[in-house]
């Protein structure tokens, strides 16, 4: 299998390109994805290759963009529609929640919606409170949507391919700060199955569950903790909905400790759901309450200094892991 | 006083007499290794104590300035306060109002509850209300490894006992690991239950070990505890008052919306208990064998023509044949005791008599040597007495083998259950008239199926078959059954 080092953004682009080459029903639509190639260049070169009919520059109307995708999908095409920033899903919420997620159900299963919504989430570019959010928990709360959030170029290409091929509405969240991340990616098309997590680093002392950019921060933390004798098992969820609970639970039953890390605010975040599932299915295996690391309950600050403080990082993750696995030195233990 | 107590919460932690093993009840202070008012760090040896087994040093579980409460030579119960670790050297006894509280006879009465809640790593993880702070994982492991969790010291957050503490249990706690030393305590700790179930069980005083775990969750749930209590209440209400619920085996939970409920009391209860015990305690198996009864039928019809009132029943012929076969095969006329297989001197055959509401097994004595006339008369008397509830204790006692007949109800063969303490029972099927090939000639034959259940602990298949064969042979020669045999 021929591999080369390409970026997270290029891996996304390649997945779209290969899908369009192999399936004439696949087309893209979104703001500035044609001539401009998308604000993060993730659609770069596609309009030149496939023409304006298949890579459509749309007006600034997220409702219309998603609605276009739903209509095209339900009438037989396989659209990819882009919402420039994840914050803008809020504008298109009626189309996403009440139409895309519901149509198959409302039509008794006879409607098929092979729609992929792509968007860019997360902070780290000092893009301020309306262009930096992590709203994945809102999407995961809606039955009828599949939500993926890759942490690296390999998963990006495979998950994007799987999203395009899936006959149900999917949401692909790209993390802005990972666009330039490079890694070895196969040239030929492949897909990473939806709904299957990956053990990114095996370990025996504590299970760290994360995804997206925070997965990489968790790996850095795990590297540091290993030098202190704490072996973290880091799980990359890859797909947030449906959640791969089995992999998490199996790991926690071995390590007896769990820490969930995400960039979204803690309150009502995916960490709450994961912690709940862990206590439901691995309660008798826990040595400590499940810890959650997320952003403070506040809008993302514009100031680079404040933003850096706001977003969780490896030292903060490491500190939380130490608290969970820490053991007091106890006097008078036995004779 | 309460204000002083509150301020103390922030400045001192209690220092307790540790519990160093399962059997340690108290310890005697041999020597304080740190002077009053000196600073100690976690892990520093603070004092030396003597237990009934050993002399050992006790380390500090928290940093602070030591204030001694117990005197050298004094003995203290495990868990009682023998000193304080204060956050400053200033608040020494005798130098402030607070110290007056600490120096009084029972400072812990006012302070323990509040102080315990701020403990970070106590030497004793017991917290308010006597609950032991332990992680779910620790409780699961303690149950699996049979470690007494109360002997452990918690090293986790808030002094919680965690799984590693169980795995690293010191020898004193591990002594209870021996599987043959299971204690009720260990069972209680090991019961897997949800938090809600524990709270409800605590509230109602229910022992979780008695509650069946949820088959899906594989641990006791709140609903399980509630169902357990409902069942207990129902059984109390339904039980006959003092005149006695029987000693029947534990009742099964009622099925949903029963059409009728019949309690396992009286004769029904005795049958349930004895039959269940029979199947659980013995190694029972059943063989069936064809018996030609043409001779018996011919013998019987001749008898009827001659003496209709005393004509024996088919079962009487079988009992006579069984009695004689038992004499030939003493291994079947036996009982299994703790000492071994005991062969019985006399042969007494029990006869299962069906009643409207159950079953009795009166006994025909010396069936090996009684003649058909006596057997017939006795079986008639016993059956009538059984149906009139007029059987005496002697009529029921001492059977060494049993015969049960369902032939009158169209049954060919079945698997009778041994009536303890016997080691065998014979089931008698209906009389059938079959078309058979005799050489090259088609003819009819009268036969029945005998179903012999025996206890494989007492004898094996070949002797059991030989015994059954003897019965078949006895039925083939009914004239030999008529006359009594002399006792040997």
Q: What average pLDDT does this structure show over A98-125?
A: 96
pLDDT at B1: 39
Cβ–Cβ under 8 Å, residues A278 and A249: yes
Chain mean pLDDT for chain B: 79
B20 contacts A335? CB cut-off 8 A = yes
Closest chain A residue to the Cα of B136, Cα to Cα:
A284
Q: Considering only residues B115 and B446, tell me which one the structure prediction assigns the higher pLDDT.
A: B446
Please state, as a whole number, how many other Cβ atoms lie within 10 Å of the Cβ of residue B478: 22
B21 contacts A335? CB cut-off 8 A = yes
Q: Considering only residues B41 and B424, tell me which one the structure prediction assigns the higher pLDDT.
A: B424
Q: Tell me the residues of chain B between 17 and 56 that have a Cβ less than 8 Å away from chain A.
A: 18, 20-21, 42-43, 46, 51, 53-54, 56
> B252 pLDDT band (50/70/90 cuts)?
low
Cβ–Cβ under 8 Å, residues B477 and B321: no
- Among A131, A175, A205, A262, the one annotated catalytic: A131
Q: Tell me the residues of chain B between 56 and 115 that have a Cβ less than 8 Å away from chain A.
A: 56, 58-61
Phi-psi region of B218 (alpha: psi -120 to 50; beta: other; left: phi over 0): left
For residue B177, pLDDT beyond 50? no
Cβ–Cβ under 8 Å, residues B401 and B424: yes
> Which segment, B109-113, B217-221, B461-465, is predicted with the most confidence on average?
B461-465
For residue B96, pLDDT beyond 50? no
Q: What average pLDDT does this structure show over A116-143?
A: 97
Closest chain A residue to the Cα of B119, Cα to Cα:
A328
Closest chain B residue to the Cα of A257, Cα to Cα:
B137
Task: Work out the minimum CA distance from B115 to partner chain A, whole angstroms.
Answer: 18
pLDDT at B79: 85
Residue B389 to residue B386: CA distance in whole angstroms: 5
> B174 pLDDT band (50/70/90 cuts)?
low
Q: Strands across the sheet with B26-32, in order?
A: B55-59, B45-50, B26-32, B75-77
pTM: 0.51
Structural tokens at position B281: 């305690």
pLDDT at B5: 38
> B393 pLDDT band (50/70/90 cuts)?
confident
Residue B143 to residue A207: CA distance in whole angstroms: 24
Of the partner residues A287, A326, A332, the one whose CB lies closest to the CB of residue B137: A287
Of the partner residues A287, A331, A334, the one whose CB lies closest to the CB of residue B42: A331
A333 contacts B170? CB cut-off 8 A = yes
Residue B300 to residue A113: CA distance in whole angstroms: 87
> B486 pLDDT band (50/70/90 cuts)?
low
Q: What average pLDDT does this structure show over A227-242?
A: 97
Say whether A131 is catalytic: yes
Q: Is the ipTM of this complex over 0.90?
A: no
How remote is the C-alpha of A184 from its chain's centroid?
A: 19
For residue A19, pLDDT beyond 60? yes
Cβ–Cβ under 8 Å, residues B145 and B178: no
Whole-number percent of chain A with pLDDT over 90: 96
pLDDT at B56: 82
CA-closest candidate to residue A155, choices A15, A44, A33 = A15
Structural tokens at position A82: 């882009």
Whether B312 and chain A come into contact, CB under 8 Å, resolves to no
- Which burial class, exposed, middle or buried, applies to B37 when counting CB atoms under 10 A from its CB (0-12, 13-18, 19+)? middle
Tell me the CA end-to-end span of chain A in Å, nearest whole number: 62
CB neighbour list of residue B45: distance below 8 Å, 6 or more residues apart: B33, B34, B57, B58, B59
pLDDT at B102: 39
Instruction: Tell me the pLDDT tens digit for each residue of A236-251.
Output: 999 999 999 999 999 9
Cβ–Cβ under 8 Å, residues B372 and B480: no
Contacting residues of A for B20, CB less than 8 Å apart:
332, 334-335
CA-closest candidate to residue B28, choices B49, B43, B7 = B49
Q: What average pLDDT does this structure show over A1-5?
A: 89
B155 contacts A330? CB cut-off 8 A = yes
Q: Considering only residues B339 and B466, tell me which one the structure prediction assigns the higher pLDDT.
A: B466
Residue whose token pair is 């029987």: B246
Residue B429, preceding bond cis, omega within 30 degrees?
A: no
For residue B14, pLDDT beyond 70? yes
Chain mean pLDDT for chain A: 95
B139 contacts A287? CB cut-off 8 A = no
Closest chain B residue to the Cα of A287, Cα to Cα:
B135
Residue A286 to residue A276: CA distance in whole angstroms: 12
Task: Work out the minimum CA distance from B332 to partner chain A, whole angstroms.
Answer: 53
Please state, as a whole number, how many other Cβ atoms lie within 10 Å of the Cβ of residue B309: 5
pLDDT at B16: 87
Residue A100 to residue A166: CA distance in whole angstroms: 14
Residue B427 to residue B167: CA distance in whole angstroms: 57
pLDDT at B182: 36
> B7 pLDDT band (50/70/90 cuts)?
very low
Structural tokens at position B63: 């940093």
pLDDT at A78: 97
Chain A interface disruption, residue of B76, B136, B176, B214, most A CBs within 10 A: B136
Residue A287 to residues A206, A252, A292, B37, B169: CA-CA distances in angstroms? Answer: 10, 10, 15, 36, 16
The dihedral over CA atoms of B176, B168, A260, A9, expressed in degrees to the nearest 10, equals -130
CA-closest candidate to residue A74, choices A102, A114, A108 = A114
Task: Work out the minimum CA distance from B58 to partner chain A, whole angstroms.
Answer: 5
Residue A290 to residues A260, B26, B28: CA-CA distances in angstroms? Answer: 8, 38, 42
Residue A29 to residue A54: CA distance in whole angstroms: 8
B194 contacts A283? CB cut-off 8 A = yes
Cβ–Cβ under 8 Å, residues A322 and A290: no
User: b/e per residue, B155-174, with b = 16+ CB within 10 A?
Assistant: bbbbbbbbbbbbeebbebbb
Residue A192 to residue A97: CA distance in whole angstroms: 25
Give B220's DSSP letter.
Answer: B
Residue whose token pair is 């709940």: A276
Contacting residues of B for A323, CB less than 8 Å apart:
157
> Which segment, A288-292, B337-341, B372-376, is predicted with the most confidence on average?
A288-292
Residue B326 to residue B345: CA distance in whole angstroms: 11
B18 contacts A328? CB cut-off 8 A = no
For residue A102, pLDDT beyond 90? yes
Of the partner residues B43, B138, B163, the one whose CB lies closest to the CB of residue A329: B43
Number of alpha carbons in the 13 Å side-chain half-sphere of residue B36:
12
Contacting residues of A for B171, CB less than 8 Å apart:
334-335
Q: Are strands B441-455 and B284-292 parallel, antiparallel or unpaired?
A: antiparallel
Question: Computed from CA positions of residues A2, A8, A13, A15, in that sequence, does the dihedral angle turn out positive or negative?
Answer: positive
B42 contacts A287? CB cut-off 8 A = no
CA-closest candidate to residue B131, choices B108, B110, B149, B111 = B149
- SS3 assignment, position A318: helix
User: What angle do helix axes B372-387 and B314-328 make, rounded to 10 degrees?
Assistant: 120
Q: What average pLDDT does this structure show over A90-116?
A: 97
Q: How many CB pairs under 8 A join A and B?
A: 91
DSSP H helices, B136-265, are: 136-145, 163-167, 171-174, 184-190, 195-204, 222-238
B159 contacts A328? CB cut-off 8 A = yes
Supply the DSSP string of B378-405, one letter for each residue.
HHHHHHHHHHTT---HHHHS--SEEEEE
Whole-number percent of chain B with pLDDT over 70: 80
């Amino acid at each position: 299998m021929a591999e080369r080092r390409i970026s997270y953004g290029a891996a996304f682009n390649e997945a779209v390109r290969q899908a369009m080459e192999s399936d004439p029903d696949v087309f893209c639509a979104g703001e500035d994805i044609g001539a401009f190639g998308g604000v993060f260049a993730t659609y770069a070169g596609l309009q030149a290759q496939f023409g304006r009919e298949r890579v459509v520059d749309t007006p600034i109307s997220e409702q219309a963009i998603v609605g276009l995708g739903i209509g095209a999908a339900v009438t037989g095409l396989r659209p990819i529609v882009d919402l420039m920033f994840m914050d803008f899903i809020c504008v298109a919420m009626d189309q996403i929640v009440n139409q895309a997620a519901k149509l198959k159900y409302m039509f008794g299963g006879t409607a098929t919606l092979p729609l992929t919504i792509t968007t860019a989430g997360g902070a780290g570019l000092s893009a301020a409170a309306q262009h930096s959010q992590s709203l994945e928990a809102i999407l995961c709360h809606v039955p009828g949507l599949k939500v993926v959030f890759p942490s690296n170029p390999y998963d990006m290409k495979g998950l994007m391919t799987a999203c395009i091929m899936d006959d149900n509405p999917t949401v692909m969240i790209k993390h802005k700060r990972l666009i330039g991340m490079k890694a070895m990616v196969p040239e030929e098309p492949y897909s990473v199955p939806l709904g299957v997590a990956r053990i990114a680093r095996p370990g025996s002392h504590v299970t760290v569950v994360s995804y997206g950019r925070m997965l990489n921060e968790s790996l850095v933390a795990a590297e540091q903790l290993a030098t202190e004798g704490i072996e973290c098992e880091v799980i990359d969820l890859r797909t947030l909905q449906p959640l791969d609970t089995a992999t998490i639970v199996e790991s926690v039953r071995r390590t007896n400790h769990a820490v969930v890390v995400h960039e979204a605010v803690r309150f009502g975040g995916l960490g709450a759901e994961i912690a709940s599932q862990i206590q439901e299915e691995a309660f008798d295996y826990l040595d400590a309450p499940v810890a959650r690391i997320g952003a403070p309950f506040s809008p993302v600050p514009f100031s680079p200094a404040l933003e850096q403080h706001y977003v969780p990082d490896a030292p903060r993750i490491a500190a939380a892991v130490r608290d969970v696995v820490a053991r007091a030195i106890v006097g008078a233990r036995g004779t | 006083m309460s204000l002083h107590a509150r301020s103390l919460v922030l400045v001192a932690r209690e220092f307790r007499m540790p519990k160093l093993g399962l059997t340690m009840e108290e310890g005697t202070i041999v020597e304080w290794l740190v002077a009053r008012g000196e600073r100690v760090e976690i892990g520093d040896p603070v004092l030396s104590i003597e237990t009934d087994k050993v002399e050992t040093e006790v380390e500090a579980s928290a940093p602070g300035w030591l204030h001694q409460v117990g005197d050298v030579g004094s003995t203290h119960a495990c868990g009682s306060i023998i000193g304080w670790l204060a956050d400053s050297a200033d608040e020494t006894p005798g130098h402030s109002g607070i110290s007056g509280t600490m120096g009084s006879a029972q400072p812990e009465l006012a302070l323990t509850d509040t102080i315990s809640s701020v403990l970070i790593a106590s030497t004793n993880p017991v917290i308010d209300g006597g609950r032991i702070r332990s992680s779910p994982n620790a409780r699961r492991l303690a149950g699996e490894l049979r470690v007494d969790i109360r002997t452990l010291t918690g090293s986790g957050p808030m002094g919680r006992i965690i799984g590693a503490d169980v795995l690293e249990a010191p020898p004193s706690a591990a002594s209870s690991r021996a599987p043959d030393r299971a204690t009720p305590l260990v069972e209680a700790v090991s019961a897997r239950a949800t938090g809600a179930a524990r709270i409800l069980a605590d509230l109602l005083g229910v022992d979780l070990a008695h509650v069946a775990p949820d088959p899906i969750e594989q641990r006791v749930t709140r609903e399980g505890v509630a169902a357990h209590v409902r069942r207990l209440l129902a059984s109390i209400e339904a039980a006959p008052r003092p005149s006695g619920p029987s000693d029947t085996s534990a009742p099964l939970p009622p099925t949903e919306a029963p059409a009728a409920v019949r309690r396992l009391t009286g004769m029904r209860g005795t049958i349930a208990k004895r039959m269940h015990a029979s199947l659980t305690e013995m190694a029972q198996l059943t063989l069936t064998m064809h018996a030609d009864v043409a001779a018996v039928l011919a013998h019987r019809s001749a008898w009827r023509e001659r003496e209709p009132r005393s004509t024996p029943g088919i079962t009487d012929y079988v009992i006579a044949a069984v009695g004689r076969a038992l004499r030939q095969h003493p291994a079947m006329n036996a009982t299994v005791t703790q000492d071994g297989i005991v062969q019985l001197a006399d042969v007494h055959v029990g006869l299962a008599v069906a009643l409207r509401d159950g079953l009795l097994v009166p006994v025909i004595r010396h069936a090996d040597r009684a003649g058909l006339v006596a057997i017939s008369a006795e079986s008639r008397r016993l059956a009538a007495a059984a149906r009139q509830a007029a059987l005496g204790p002697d009529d029921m006692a001492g059977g060494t083998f049993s015969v049960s007949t369902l032939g009158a109800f169209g049954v060919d063969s079945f698997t009778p259950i041994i009536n303890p303490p016997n080691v065998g029972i014979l089931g008698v099927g209906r009389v059938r008239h079959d078309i058979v090939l005799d050489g090259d000639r088609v003819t009819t034959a009268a036969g029945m199926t005998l179903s012999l259940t025996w206890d494989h602990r007492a004898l094996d298949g070949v002797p059991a078959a030989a015994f059954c064969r003897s019965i078949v042979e006895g039925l083939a020669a009914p004239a030999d059954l008529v006359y009594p045999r002399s006792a040997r």
